[in-house]
């Protein structure tokens, strides 16, 4: 039994108290009963052992998964309140089944000091609907020149460092950051984009760039950085995490690094799993993202990388932008898509391939492994068993719903999945027995 202290979320819809979830399918297994008491899973298969005080919740047919962990969320606070805030972004995360998100450093001001780490953590504790883990910048002001105080930020609570949105092109600087990160027991998450090769790229090189006349963003610009950084991780023994893998070549490089026993992990975003670059050629800037949507061959390689363990985690790269900015012409519109509220639906669709998905694999990709990579496995991504915190999400596997871009908890509406239909949908989320999202008032009750 785990006895760690699990911090509560600030904003929630009530508590489960003592309750029995009837008919729920744990990790997609046979229907059973799950007893929750005092914020923990007290029993599974609890028929007759709940006591008269237990509230009965009809969860017939719903799939119970450990609540998700997102290693890659842009909450935009401070400095981007017209696109997202910590309050709105964590509401979106809870609605998507997440208990924990890692907030990327590219705010204004940049999260590049212990004080700014503390500020974001404190704000998350005050207004968050899920737990917020600040990501510290690798370089001061994301400028790629001077290393930020990684050790001091680690002492302030940072478990991951990234200049996401920009690549640390300087190999010596990146190596030094890896060494310092290793000493602190943290991880470096790299946005792989060689500036000399990507230049002002806007769309995937090849057919998409040729058909649109837009500046090409070649896959080799990603792959060369991943190969370089993997070698540095192998040489230093420091942990490297590759952000938003998008090409078949990168999958091969990560596979090669793992075969050599190097401490390299990788994530993929839901949009790169479902959409290819043919979506972008029509000029709708909702499909403009960095790295860009790639070819169908790349998408297939990402699917295989998930299934064979080369890719460790799903991470949303939730990147909200206000409508007026996305309405600009392609070259002036910002890169990015939102994805917290649709991630599970997309991943289940991809891994289900027309049938029932491997729910245990989804739990590994969206909860267990991200928690380990982010260093929060003591409190997040825990297995669903007696004695563990009641931190879970419930999924309707027969929802048959359509994404409505006008609705959602995020302040922004730049979803690439608008009007698409999905079979699976998160209907409720609980964190340590607190109900943080509840689409149909399934769990909610006020203490």
> Which of 156, 47, 57, 48 has its CA nearest to residue 443?
57
Could you tell me if 33 and 20 are in contact, meaning their C-beta atoms sit under 8 angstroms apart?
yes
User: Is 317 designated active site?
Assistant: yes
Using CA atoms, how far apart are residues 399 and 417, in angstroms rounded to an integer? 16
Could you tell me if 230 and 249 are in contact, meaning their C-beta atoms sit under 8 angstroms apart?
no
> Which of 363, 348, 360 has its CA nearest to residue 424?
348
Q: What are phi and psi of 418, to 5 degrees?
A: -55, 135
3-class SS of residue 43: strand
Using CA atoms, how far apart are residues 300 and 354, in angstroms rounded to an integer? 16
Q: What are phi and psi of 272, to 5 degrees?
A: -75, -15
User: H or E stretch including 246?
Assistant: none
**Placement of tokens 């790629």 in the chain:** 144
Contacts 24+ apart (CB under 8 A), 41-48: 41/384, 41/385, 41/386, 41/387, 41/388, 41/389, 41/390, 42/386, 43/386, 44/384, 44/385, 44/386, 46/20
Residue 234: burial class (beta carbons within 10 Å; 0-12, 13-18, 19+): middle
- Integer-rounded Cα Rg, in Å, for the chain is 21
Structure-token pair, residue 402: 């359509």
Residue among 317, 358, 396, 438 flagged as catalytic = 317
User: Which residues are catalytically annotated?
Assistant: 317
């Amino acid at each position: 039994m785990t006895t760690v202290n699990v911090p509560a979320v600030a904003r929630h819809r009530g508590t489960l108290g003592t309750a029995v979830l009837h008919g729920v399918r744990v990790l997609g297994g046979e229907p059973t009963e799950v007893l929750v008491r005092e914020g923990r899973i007290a029993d599974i298969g609890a028929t007759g052992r709940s006591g008269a005080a237990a509230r009965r919740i009809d969860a017939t047919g719903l799939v119970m998964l450990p609540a998700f962990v997102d290693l890659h969320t842009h909450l935009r606070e401070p400095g981007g309140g017209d696109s997202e805030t910590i309050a709105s972004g964590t509401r979106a995360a809870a609605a998507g089944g997440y208990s924990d998100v890692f907030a990327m450093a590219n705010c204004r001001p940049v999260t590049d000091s212990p004080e700014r780490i503390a500020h974001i953590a404190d704000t998350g504790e005050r207004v968050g609907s899920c737990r917020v883990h600040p990501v510290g910048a690798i370089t001061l002001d994301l400028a790629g020149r001077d290393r930020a105080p990684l050790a001091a930020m680690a002492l302030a609570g940072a478990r991951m460092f990234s200049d996401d949105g920009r690549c640390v092109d300087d190999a010596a600087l990146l190596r030094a950051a890896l060494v310092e990160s290793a000493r602190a027991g943290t991880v470096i998450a790299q946005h792989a984009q060689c500036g000399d090769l990507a230049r002002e790229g806007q769309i995937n090189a090849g057919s998409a760039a040729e058909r649109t006349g837009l500046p090409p963003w070649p896959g080799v610009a990603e792959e060369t950085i991943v190969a370089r950084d993997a070698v540095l991780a192998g040489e230093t023994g420091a942990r490297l995490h590759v952000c938003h893998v998008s090409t078949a070549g990168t999958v091969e490089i990560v596979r090669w690094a793992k075969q050599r026993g190097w401490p390299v992990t990788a994530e993929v975003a839901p949009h790169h799993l479902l959409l290819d670059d043919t979506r972008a050629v029509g000029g709708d800037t909702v499909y403009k993202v960095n790295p860009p949507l790639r070819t169908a061959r790349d998408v297939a390689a990402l699917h295989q990388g998930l299934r064979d363990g080369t890719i460790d985690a799903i991470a949303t790269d939730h990147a909200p932008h206000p409508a007026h900015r996305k309405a600009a012409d392609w070259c002036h519109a910002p890169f990015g898509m939102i994805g917290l509220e649709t991630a599970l639906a997309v991943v289940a669709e991809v891994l289900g391939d027309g049938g029932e998905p491997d729910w245990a694999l989804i739990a590994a990709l969206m909860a267990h492994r991200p928690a380990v990579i982010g260093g929060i496995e003591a409190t997040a991504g825990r297995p669903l068993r007696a004695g563990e915190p009641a931190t879970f999400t419930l999924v309707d596997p027969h929802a048959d719903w359509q994404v409505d871009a006008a609705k959602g908890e995020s302040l922004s509406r730049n979803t690439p999945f608008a009007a698409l239909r999905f079979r699976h949908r998160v209907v409720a989320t609980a964190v340590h027995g607190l109900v943080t999202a509840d689409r149909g008032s399934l769990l909610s009750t006020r203490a």
